[in-house]
């Protein structure tokens, strides 16, 4: 399957700072990218969907001004958590979809906000 | 909106034995995809098996097979000859063919333990 990378794999930041997470498709062009959030021992919850060159579509209840998503190219999407607070601590996972029906997942980023 | 239900938070199986994980879903659509994903301790999501709703034949991938009952909206995963490496969280997921922009809707997951 396709390879998706995320960077960083783990980040610790102070409350009030912003954190950027990168998601890259290494061997295919991703027409659509998805960002998920996973709390401990819970399922993946979709935060937003983005298509290259377009604004992201956010799920209900997700603050678009807090979770900024940029999908500038077919191989890179970024999620910026602005003014992070301890309740934003979670595991963030991206996935990418190419021309087929399958989504390929990144390894995830653990965010800890102190 | 579609919902996916996994009623077994935890399951346990003896190594080399067979285990079945349950999944039910609710939808008004006739065409869709169903998936089982595995999430080991590394947290990397791995696709285990996929089923297209229009196909009557149950999907199989080596030791993994599904029992797809469309009328009952049931999609269970059978793992045969269980191995220690099968220990993980397993998520059932639904994807619409027409609507929702390729979004996946996940169940709450089943944690599978494999006893040596």
Among A4, A8, A9, A44, the strongest candidate for a mutation testing the B interface, having the largest count of B CBs within 10 A, is A44
pLDDT of residue A41: 84
Nearest-Cα residue of chain B relative to residue A101: B102
Provide the percentage of residues in chain A whose pLDDT is more than 90: 66
Q: In this predicted structure, what is the pLDDT of residue B103?
A: 86
Q: Is B100 on the interface with A (CB under 8 A)?
A: no
- Put simply, whether A102 touches B (Cβ < 8 Å) is yes
Size of interface A-B (CB pairs under 8 A): 47
- Residue pair B18/B81 in contact (Cβ under 8 Å)? The answer is yes
Say yes or no: A62 contacts chain B, CB-CB below 8 A: no
- Cβ atoms of A38 and A23 closer than 8 Å: no
**Confidence band of A73 (pLDDT split at 50, 70, 90):** confident
Strands (E), A8-99: 10-13, 19-25, 32-38, 44-51, 57-58, 67-73, 76-81, 90-97
Beta-ladder partners of A36: A46, A93
| Paired tokens of A102 | 């399958």
Percent of chain A with pLDDT over 70: 96
Mark yes or no for CB contact B104/A49 under 8 Å.
no
Name the stretches of chain B with pLDDT < 70. Answer: 99-101
Who's near B111: CB < 8 A, 6+ residues apart? B9, B10, B11, B88, B89, B90
Q: Which residue of B104, B105, B107 is in closest CB contact with A103? A: B104
CB contact, 8 Å: A49 with chain B? Answer: yes
- A103-114 confidence digits (pLDDT tens): 889 999 999 999
Structure confidence at residue B5 (pLDDT): 96
Q: Is 70 exceeded by the pLDDT of residue A99?
A: no
Chain A positions touching B102 (Cβ under 8 A) are 32, 49, 97, 103
pLDDT of residue B49: 95
What's the CA gap between A49 and A58, in Å, rounded?
6
Q: What is the arithmetic mean of pLDDT over A4-32?
A: 92
| Burial classification of residue B16, based on how many CB atoms lie within 10 Å of its CB (0-12 exposed, 13-18 middle, 19 or more buried) | exposed
Residue A14's pLDDT band, with cuts at 50, 70 and 90, is: very high
Give CA–CA dist A34/A36, Å, rounded: 7
Whether residue A8 lies within 8 A of chain B, CB to CB, comes out as: no
- Residues of chain B with C-beta less than 8 angstroms from the C-beta of A48: none
What band does A91 get if pLDDT is binned at 50, 70 and 90?
very high
The predicted structure's pLDDT at residue B112: 98
């Amino acid at each position: 399957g396709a390879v998706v990378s995320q960077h960083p794999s783990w980040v610790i930041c102070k409350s009030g700072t912003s954190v950027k997470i990168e998601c890259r498709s290494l061997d295919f062009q991703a027409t659509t990218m998805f960002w998920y959030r996973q709390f401990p021992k819970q399922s993946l919850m979709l935060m937003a969907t983005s298509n290259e060159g377009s604004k992201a579509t956010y799920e209900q209840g997700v603050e678009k001004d807090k979770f900024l998503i940029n999908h500038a190219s077919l191989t890179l999407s970024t999620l910026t958590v602005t003014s992070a607070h301890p309740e934003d601590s979670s595991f963030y996972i991206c996935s990418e979809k190419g021309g087929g029906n399958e989504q390929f997942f990144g390894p995830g980023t653990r965010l800890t906000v102190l | 909106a579609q919902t996916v239900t996994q009623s077994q938070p935890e399951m346990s199986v003896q190594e080399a034995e067979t285990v079945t994980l349950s999944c039910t879903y609710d939808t008004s659509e006739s065409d869709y995809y169903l998936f089982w994903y595995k999430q080991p301790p590394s947290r990397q999501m791995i696709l285990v098996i996929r089923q297209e709703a229009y196909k009557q034949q149950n999907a199989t991938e080596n030791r993994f097979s599904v029992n797809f009952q469309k009328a009952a909206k049931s999609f269970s995963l059978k793992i045969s000859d269980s191995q220690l490496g099968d220990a993980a969280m397993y998520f059932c997921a639904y994807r619409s063919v027409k609507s929702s922009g390729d979004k996946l809707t996940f169940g709450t997951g089943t944690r599978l333990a494999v006893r040596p």
